[in-house]
Structure 1
Amino acid sequence: MTDTTGPGRSWLLRLVIAFAFAQGAVSMARPAVSYRALALGADERAIGVITGVYALLPLFAAVPLGRRTDHGRCAPLLPLGVVLIAGGCALSGRADTLTAMAAWSGVMGLGHLCFVIGAQSIVARQSAPAEQDRNFGHFTIGASLGQLIGPIAAGYLISERDGAMGRTSALALMVSAAVAAVSFASLWRIEHRTAPARRGRTPSAKVPVGSILRARGVPAGIFISLAVLSATDILTAYLPVVGEHRGIAPATVGLLLSLRAAATIACRLVMTPMLRMLGRAGLLASTCLLAGLLCAAIALPVPVPVLALMLAVLGFCLGAGQPLSMTTVVQAAPAAARSTALALRLTGNRLGQVATPAAAGLVAGVAGTAAPFVMLGALLIVAAGLGARGRDGRAPRRSGVPEPDPAVPEVGPARAGLNRNPT
């Protein structure tokens, strides 16, 4: 059923590489946008608005893109996403007003959404049920690699000496556009045509969005993903602001953000043994709870070495939420609507990316730049409660027989491959 063990087993590695470059471009551009906005005179509230606009266009596009992917190919969304990411980065670097920066930030966000919906749908479609936790974990390593390298590169390029922040942040945005374009090299033949016999058949009826959202596990998976992504997003956007207030250099802030990403990679590399020990529900609950406490603690004016240690542990805890929420949503959703379910999860993410930065900007304007991290801590603690109530998805021990997919009904052998791998 799965292509990860067949002749085309390199698809996952090439998808991880492409995602690493696309995410690296975004992770370089996001702090560069914040620094360029600061150079143009933005305050904390304006930074919150610009960060929120990044998610505004994707908020309305996610479900239609997911519907299209459920009834067609996933791969075309990947190059489209790369073009929009590169264009948004380059045009943000040339923008000279906060309004223009917000608009091109939205284009960048739309490109990221297209790429992620296409890539996640490929992983869901080409992975056996028993391999989904592992393959989604490996897939998100690409994101973590990008989040590791991007902030370091941004911190290296951006300088505030002699009033050069505006010029150097623009340079970082142009470089991020070039980094995004490199991902084209890994996008060839990344999606397998697993069911050519289905061409010409009458497409199945659309599963109503309400039915998807009522499936057990889908709402919890969406909220957990929202909370974890919001934490990562606010860290990326607001740690530069915190660093500016505490006298931490941009290069040091870039290293701190990359340390967080490196710890996230470490988490995903050891996810399978952790799942065997704790199960999916236990791992989600424990990591979200600890991440919530650490997020709130960032509000404390601790020395840089202590902050680095906190961010390392926080990054490790945040590493579990995204891939496990993907598996939770995919396995809970109807088989004919998995891409739509993933799109709804991404809609929740983008809703969080609109609302959370706006709320963070408001809180920061009233209570100081560290206050948004307390808000994120509370959000993650709620996610921990939802994770504890979920189904226990312990990773199966290798027995040679994959676990049945709970979203797929029992069918005869002649149709099993088509139902397990819908196009």
Structure 2
Amino acid sequence: MAKRGELTWLWIMIAAAVLTQTALNLLRPVTSYKLLVLGAGETWVGLATAAYAILPLIFAMSLGRLSGRLPTLRGMIAIGGAVMGLGGLGLAFGGSIAVIMVSSAVLGMGHLVFTIAGQTVIGRRASPATMDAAFGWFTAAFSIGQMAGPLISGFILGNATLGEASHSAAFAGRIDAALWLGAGCSLLAVPVMYLMRADGGRRHRAHPPAAGADPEDRTGAPGETAAAATGAAQGAGVGAEKPTMARIWRVAGIPSHMLASLALLAMLDILTAFMPLVGESAGVAPVWVGVLLAVRGGASFVSRIVLPWMSRRWSRHGLVLVSLLASAVALGFVPPVLQAWGASWLALALMAVGGFALGIGQPLTMSLVSQAVPSTWRGPALAFRLVGNRVGQVVMPVVAGLVAAPLGPAGGIWCACLILAASGTERLVAGRRS
């Protein structure tokens, strides 16, 4: 991608991402177990999962505009890690469903701040030729956390099912210990981010900015491709306008890319929240639920590592289409395999296939959104993408919880699979070739 010294900023971001995502994916499954211990059912788990996205839904666009104005984003990324840590502490201290709801919302806000700032850094500094690889490595760090967090939580909670351990004070103590560890992991990202130079990326200012770039966008990587320069020039008139949500929405391809992103992220959230419930209904211990979620995260990590190679061989459209449809099919079979057949190893294989497919789509939707808009709109456009994601994260868990109430926890996962399939069908019918 670039000389090693030029990538220091990316490696620091990756380290912070590993810490925060390990914390996030440790905290969220354990939160489901804590709610069950407090007497909550599937509907409450769905509502708590939706609460995680409430504040991000409200503040995503304003934070995106802020990220575009800041000369350096080191502090914003560190604040995201700190707020996530506060949310984790609230989950650990929380003794009621209301406190868990509020703490989940704080956790989601911290994750939003971290993610917007991190994505905007890549949108600024990575050239179009290296953008897929940069987003791929950044989201690969997320996948490491998605693998490590559930493994750690499963190891801490142990091999007893909730039904066997729900009346045990020791089990409740292990739940709180896992939540404390998750909070500490998030807080560790704060000093890591301060290893990054405050003026990182400004050394490229000697290079002329792309047409239509404003002062905040002049920290991009040098050597932009001719296609990128042409696209920026064509979008200069549009880029001079304020990038409102309505204007971004009207850009060709943006609605489709956002639907795909929403569906992929909603699937991740619902898997994280509802797999403990599926496991509990099937008599699967928390440690094995952790392994299943970790296999999903590990497979997504592998797909993101090989994403640059895949994106050279196949179109982004084809890869996103496979991501949506393959994950819908594979993950839809996981609940019946566990509940009806008790085939844990087949469930592991399906989680691996589904996780690999899920891992392809998210970084590509980042690239598709970034390159569909003028360069000066990238921060707000990525924030708008996150608004769409958060709408899905609010609505989908609530719907999944309502579906799961009569059908059981498997219904929540099937609901998310249906949205994945619908997004894939839309892209197939539209015949997108991005």
TM over 0.5: yes
AA aligned to 1:27 is N
2: distance between equivalents of 1:6 and 1:147?
26
- Alpha-carbon offset, residue 391 of structure 1: 4.8
Query: 1:156 is matched with which residue?
Result: 155
Distance 1:35 1:135 in 2: 35
Using a 3 Å threshold, how does the CA distance of structure 1 residues 241 and 6 change in structure 2: closer, same or farther? closer
Evaluate the alpha carbon distance shift between residue 136 and residue 386 of structure 1 in structure 2; reply closer, same or farther with a 3 A threshold. farther
- Across the aligned residues of Structure 1 and Structure 2, the Cα RMSD in angstroms comes to 2.1
Aligned residue for 1:248, secondary structure, equals: coil
Q: Does 1:257 align with 2:293?
A: yes
* Residue identity matched to 2:61: V
Residue 81 and residue 310 in structure 1: after superposition, are their counterparts in 2 closer, same or farther (change >3 A)? same
Mapping 1:218-237, distance limit 5 Å: 218-237=254-273
Between the aligned partners of 2:304 and 2:93, the Cα distance in structure 1 is: 37
- Code of the aligned partner of 1:319: G
- Cα distance, 1:146 vs. partner? 0.5
Query: 1:385 maps to what in 2?
Result: 425
Give the aligned partner of residue 113 of structure 2.
114
1:129-208 paired onto structure 2 within 5 Å: 129-159=128-158, 160=162, 161=165, 163=168, 164-187=170-193, 188-189=195-196, 191-193=200-202, 194-195=204-205, 206-208=242-244
Partner of 2:22: 24
Measure how far apart 1:288 and its partner are: 1.0
> Once the 2 structures are TM-superposed, how far is the Cα of residue 152 of structure 1 from its aligned partner?
0.6
Task: Decide which structure has greater helix share.
Answer: 2
Q: Which runs of 5+ in 1 are unaligned?
A: 394-423
What is the correspondence of 1:49-64 to structure 2 with a 5 Å cutoff? 49-64=47-62
Q: Deviations over 1:128-162 (max 9, x none)?
A: 01111111111101100001100011111124535
Shift of 1:207: 2.1
Partner of 1:291: 327
2:357 corresponds to 1:317: yes
Instruction: Provide the rounded CA distance (Å) in 1 between the counterparts of 2:352 and 2:266.
Output: 17
8 A Cα contact 2:79 2:190, kept in partner: no
Deviates more, 1:355-364 or 1:291-300: 291-300
Question: Aligned pair count?
Answer: 390
Asked if structure 1 preserves the Cα contact closer than 8 Å seen for 2:50 and 2:395, the reply is yes
Aligned counterparts of 2:15 and 2:70: Cα–Cα separation in 1: 24
| Contact 1:294-1:377 at 8 Å conserved across structures | no
Q: In structure 2, which of residues 342, 348, 351 is the aligned counterpart of residue 308 of structure 1?
A: 348
Q: Any idea what SS the aligned residue of 1:9 has?
A: helix
Is the Cα contact below 8 Å between 1:92 and 1:173 reproduced in 2?
A: yes
Q: Report if aligned partners of 2:70, 2:216 keep a CA contact under 8 Å in 1.
A: no
C-alpha spacing 1:100/1:56, structure 2 compared with 1 (3 Å): same
Task: Specify whether residues 82 and 318 from structure 1 end up closer, same or farther in structure 2 by C-alpha distance, changes over 3 A only.
Answer: same
Partner of 2:228: none
**Residue in 2 aligned with 1:414?**
none
